[in-house]
């Protein structure tokens, strides 16, 4: 497992991590619903700062950025999901940025960035499916909305959803694939532009 080295835990890097975490939190405000998933699944690009941090400073930096992003969101905006949404965002986002950052950090070129992002999307989608099925939706149903109502909400916008399993298969899986592709595309467009700034300071 990759951990931050003493060299990487410099004051400068901690400042960069903090700034990227704050940017991630701000980006969480700019979200939108997708037509095939229940309305509480919102698409945003708030994982992008975590990916940039993982590429520039190592995969654990990306995980810390994801943690800060969600903590800041809880402190500033509060929660509409009893903290369950933030927990899910952290788990899934951390898998994404860690796996993508780990592969890219081994060899820093465009090919490994694309490979890392691709593997990150697959792993994120797998973990999102399992965590939502066994942990997140059951918790959400206890603190917010009963599970059958969640299925009904999804079924009202997606005719392929008829039960809990199809909710995961036809709503959660495509949602995370779409989110991963969008965030990856934005990261690839921005990283080379902002990485000189991150490495300079």
How far apart are alpha carbons 7 and 135 in whole angstroms?
Answer: 36
How far apart are alpha carbons 180 and 33 in whole angstroms?
Answer: 15
For position 198, what pLDDT does the model report?
A: 75
How far apart are alpha carbons 164 and 180 in whole angstroms?
Answer: 23
pLDDT band at 39 (very low <50, low <70, confident <90, very high): confident
Q: What residue has token string 């990759």? A: 2
Instruction: Return the HEC string of 31-48.
Output: CEECCCCCCCCEECCCCH
What tens digit of pLDDT does each residue of 72-117 get?
999 998 887 778 889 999 999 999 999 999 999 889 999 999 999 9
Strands (E), the chain: 32-33, 42-43
Q: Is the pLDDT of residue 69 over 70?
A: yes
Radius of gyration of the chain (CA): 17
For position 2, what pLDDT does the model report?
A: 57
Among the listed residues 93, 28, 34, the one whose alpha carbon sits nearest the alpha carbon of residue 66:
93
Q: Counting runs of H as helices and runs of E as strands, what totals does the chain give?
A: 9, 2
Q: Is the pTM of this model over 0.85?
A: yes
For position 195, what pLDDT does the model report?
A: 81
Q: Is the pLDDT of residue 143 over 80?
A: yes
Share above pLDDT 90 across residues of the chain, in percent, rounded to a whole number: 77
């Amino acid at each position: 497992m990759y951990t931050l080295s003493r060299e990487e835990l410099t004051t400068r890097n901690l400042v960069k991590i903090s700034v990227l975490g704050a940017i991630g939190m701000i980006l969480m405000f700019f979200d939108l619903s997708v037509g095939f998933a229940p309305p509480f699944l919102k698409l945003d690009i708030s994982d992008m700062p975590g990916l940039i941090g993982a590429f520039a400073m190592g995969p654990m930096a990306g995980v810390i950025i994801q943690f800060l992003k969600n903590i800041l969101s809880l402190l500033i905006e509060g929660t509409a999901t009893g903290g369950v949404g933030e927990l899910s965002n952290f788990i899934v986002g951390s898998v994404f940025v860690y796996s993508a950052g780990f592969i890219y950090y081994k060899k820093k070129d465009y090919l490994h960035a694309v490979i890392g992002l691709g593997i990150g999307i697959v792993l994120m989608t797998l973990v999102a499916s399992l965590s939502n099925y066994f942990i997140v939706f059951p918790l959400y149903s206890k603190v917010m909305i009963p599970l059958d109502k969640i299925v009904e909400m999804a079924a009202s916008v997606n005719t392929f959803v008829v039960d809990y399993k199809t909710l995961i298969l036809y709503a959660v899986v495509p949602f995370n694939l779409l989110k991963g592709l969008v965030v990856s595309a934005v990261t690839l467009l921005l990283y080379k532009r902002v990485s000189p700034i991150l490495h300079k300071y």
